[in-house]
């Protein structure tokens, strides 16, 4: 693992980051030497420093280099020679962004947490994989989250090749979100489960 990218600062999106650093510190044999780069919207440096005040200084100095960087919207950020990260503001919290990773094989767009946004659909245009939140069922819709139907509309408007649904609140988790999204998007849809892996560009899962 070389990079961790945060979409926003709600704790369901960073809560396990200290545990990850702790695990990399103590369970990597031989001890990890490679840097870990933590990226996110403006404020991520401040967030990690505040976490270190609670968890301890090891979070910033775990025995391997830690880099923490704020990413600017609209400025492609190279992760390595082939892969580039971009962020785009979305309606959820003031700092919230969607993320895109572009590589020779294709483009992944992750919505982060977001409400419906035609600007996001434009920015996500042509994504090979659109990883979209769909937190809430239609009856509980809010303007800072998507329903499965709205995730389907986003995929349709973006012309995505493969819609992968995630971030289910319990009422959605016990329903069939792929079916609900499929009423709005005719393409391929997968409801993600923990541990799933997806290949971009190869056509397979």
User: CA–CA separation, 78 vs 52, rounded Å?
Assistant: 27
10 binds Zn ion (CB under 5 A): yes
In the complex with Zn ion, the residue whose CB is nearer, 161 or 167, is: 167
In the complex with Zn ion, the residue whose CB is nearer, 86 or 113, is: 113
In the complex with Zn ion, the residue whose CB is nearer, 95 or 153, is: 95
- Candidate list 24, 88, 98, 113; residue touching Zn ion; CB under 5 A: 113
- Candidate list 1, 12, 80, 194; residue touching Zn ion; CB under 5 A: 12
- Integer distance in angstroms from the first to the last C-alpha of the chain? 20
Instruction: Give yes or no for a cis peptide into 30 (omega within 30° of 0).
Output: yes
80 binds Zn ion (CB under 5 A): no
Using CB under 5 A, which of the segments 9-17, 67-75, 174-182, 191-199 binds Zn ion? 9-17
Binding site for Zn ion (CB under 5 A): 10, 12, 113
């Amino acid at each position: 693992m070389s990079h961790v990218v945060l979409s926003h600062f709600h704790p369901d999106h960073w809560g396990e980051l200290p545990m990850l650093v702790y695990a990399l510190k103590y369970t990597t044999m031989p001890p990890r030497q490679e840097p870990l780069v933590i990226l996110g919207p403006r404020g991520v440096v401040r967030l990690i420093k505040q976490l270190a005040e609670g968890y301890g200084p090891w979070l910033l100095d775990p025995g391997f280099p830690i880099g923490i960087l704020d990413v600017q919207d609209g400025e492609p950020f190279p992760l390595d020679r082939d892969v580039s990260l971009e962020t785009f503001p979305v309606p959820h919290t003031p700092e919230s962004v969607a993320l895109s990773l572009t590589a020779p094989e294709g483009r992944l767009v992750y919505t982060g947490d977001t409400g419906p946004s035609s600007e996001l659909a434009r920015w996500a245009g042509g994504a090979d994989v659109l990883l979209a939140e769909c937190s809430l069922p239609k009856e509980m819709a809010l303007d800072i989250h998507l329903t499965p139907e709205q995730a389907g509309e986003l995929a349709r408007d973006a012309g995505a090749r493969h819609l992968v649904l995630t971030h289910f609140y319990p009422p959605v988790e016990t329903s069939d979100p792929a079916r609900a999204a499929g009423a709005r998007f005719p393409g391929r849809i997968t409801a993600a489960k923990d541990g799933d892996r997806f290949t971009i560009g190869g056509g397979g899962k």
